């Protein structure tokens, strides 16, 4: 007998055979049934196994711009809200708790960014102290709401906020796996980064590559006992602009990565089937979706700081989010790198509307 795909069920007669023997060897037979039958079916009334009903979503604004050099990305959360995010979520039966934007400067106790940013570099990195402290603040908030079995939605800001949002997910739900949708791998360490910008080093902190957690500003990852992200719990989709050091990390660690070459070759449907099969297989596990808007082709989302041609099409981007929602395992998400100040003639609105639409699809909105 050959079973295809993670949703395939065991043939009825074999299920019956195993079920009859549960009384004799209950533990063994239950494990066998779970192994071959896949994840438990999700009741139609539930969105996710990891979000209690009535479904609640906590929105956290993370207006951090210090992980990269361009002004304006800190305005992303405000613009996304203004384009109707809360109303879209409420229309889809979510109970929305919007915490507003975190005040990183005030809560960090470090003063205004310009007072210390120039002297906050560590090694080849830039503004490490500010980014590290801001992410600790974000971690504390996202962890608290993840523990309450809510969907946690973080709005960036640049992608350096992924340190805090993913740390909160891992602390609250240690089995969490990450789907990283991005044009860039964001896995440089301080030893491999060519720019020193921390939005390109997020995963090195989460995976503690080159002892990145020992950097000033990031000791809290160890102090808080944040689980180290395992290479098998990370999958990339949409990569197309990688540094030499990033390629080396991905290959040496065996991280599953579907670049735009694979998207072109197999199609986004097959890609998402392979993504979910790799990180879920036949088990239930919380998913964190980290979606950098620059994964989308600039034709559809031009208002972002690191545009790279040849990205995901409009429908490919939406399909990724739809399939994550259909998995029944989404527990948290961040949407980052929307910078409404970088384009004119409607490019800012197209980008923000794309961001709102992707969030809506990831949280269960469907065509039919």
Residues labelled as active-site residues: 159, 182, 184, 186, 199, 292, 294, 337
pLDDT of 10 reads: 38
pLDDT of 159 reads: 97
pLDDT at residue 2 above 60? no
pLDDT of 42 reads: 66
- Asked whether residue 60 is assigned to any structural domain, the reply reads yes
pLDDT of 97 reads: 98
pLDDT at residue 82 above 80? yes
Which letter does DSSP use for residue 295 in this model? G
- Asked whether residue 134 is assigned to any structural domain, the reply reads yes
Angle formed at CA 112 by CA 131 and CA 160, multiple of 5 degrees? 15
Q: Give 205-220 pLDDT, tens digit per residue.
A: 999 999 999 999 999 9
Q: Give 90-140 pLDDT, tens digit per residue.
A: 999 999 999 999 998 754 444 444 433 443 344 468 889 999 999 999 999
Q: Give 32-65 pLDDT, tens digit per residue.
A: 444 444 555 666 658 999 999 999 999 999 999 9
- Asked whether residue 27 is assigned to any structural domain, the reply reads no
Count how many domains the chain has: 1
Burial class of residue 34 (count of CB atoms within 10 Å of its CB; 0-12, 13-18, 19+):
middle
Dump strand ranges (E) for the chain: 56-62, 95-101, 151-156, 177-181, 234-239, 256-259, 287-292, 330-336
Q: The domain containing residue 193 runs over which residues?
A: 56-109+123-363
- Asked whether residue 350 is assigned to any structural domain, the reply reads yes
- Asked whether residue 267 is assigned to any structural domain, the reply reads yes
Q: What's the rounded mean pLDDT across residues 184-201?
A: 95
Read off the CATH number of the domain in which 356 is found: 3.40.800.10
pLDDT of 283 reads: 87
Contacts of 24 (CB under 8 A, 6+ apart): none
Which stretch of 100-104, 155-159, 243-247, 340-344 has the lowest confidence by average pLDDT? 340-344
Which stretch of 7-21, 190-204, 263-277, 350-364 has the lowest confidence by average pLDDT? 7-21
- Asked whether residue 38 is assigned to any structural domain, the reply reads no
- Asked whether residue 244 is assigned to any structural domain, the reply reads yes
pLDDT of 141 reads: 98
pLDDT of 20 reads: 43
- Asked whether residue 7 is assigned to any structural domain, the reply reads no
């Amino acid at each position: 007998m050959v079973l295809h795909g993670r949703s395939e069920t065991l043939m009825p007669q074999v299920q019956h055979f195993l079920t009859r023997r549960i009384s004799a060897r209950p533990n063994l037979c239950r494990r066998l049934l779970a192994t071959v039958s896949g994840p438990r079916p999700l009741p139609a009334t539930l969105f996710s196994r990891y979000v209690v009903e009535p479904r609640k979503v906590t929105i956290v604004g993370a207006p951090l711009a210090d992980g990269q050099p361009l002004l304006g990305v800190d305005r992303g959360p405000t613009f996304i809200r203004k384009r109707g995010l809360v109303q879209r979520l409420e229309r889809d039966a979510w109970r929305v708790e919007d915490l507003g934007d975190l005040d990183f400067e005030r809560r960090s106790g470090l003063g205004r960014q310009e007072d210390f940013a120039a002297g906050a570099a560590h090694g080849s990195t830039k503004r490490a102290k500010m980014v590290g402290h801001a992410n600790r603040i974000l971690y504390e908030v996202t962890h608290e709401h993840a523990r309450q079995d809510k969907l946690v939605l973080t709005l960036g800001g640049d992608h350096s906020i992924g340190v805090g949002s993913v740390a909160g997910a891992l602390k609250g739900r240690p089995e969490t796996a990450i789907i990283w949708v991005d044009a860039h791998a964001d896995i440089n360490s301080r030893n491999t980064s060519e720019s020193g910008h921390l939005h390109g080093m997020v995963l090195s902190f989460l995976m503690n590559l080159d002892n990145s957690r020992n950097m000033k500003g990031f000791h809290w990852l160890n102090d808080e006992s944040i689980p180290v992200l395992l290479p098998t719990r990370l999958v990339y989709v949409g990569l197309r602009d990688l540094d030499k050091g990033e390629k080396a990390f991905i290959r040496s660690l065996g991280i599953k990565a579907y670049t735009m070459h694979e998207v072109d070759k197999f199609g986004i449907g097959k890609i998402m089937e392979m993504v979910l099969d790799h990180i879920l297989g036949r088990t239930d596990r919380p998913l964190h979706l980290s979606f950098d808007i620059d994964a989308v082709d600039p034709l559809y989302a031009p208002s972002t700081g690191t545009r790279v041609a040849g990205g995901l099409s409009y429908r490919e981007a939406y399909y990724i989010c739809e399939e994550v929602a259909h998995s029944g395992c989404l527990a948290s998400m961040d949407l980052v790198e929307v910078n409404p100040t970088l384009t004119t003639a409607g490019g800012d609105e197209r980008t923000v509307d794309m961001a709102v639409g992707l969030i809506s699809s990831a949280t269960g909105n469907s065509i039919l």
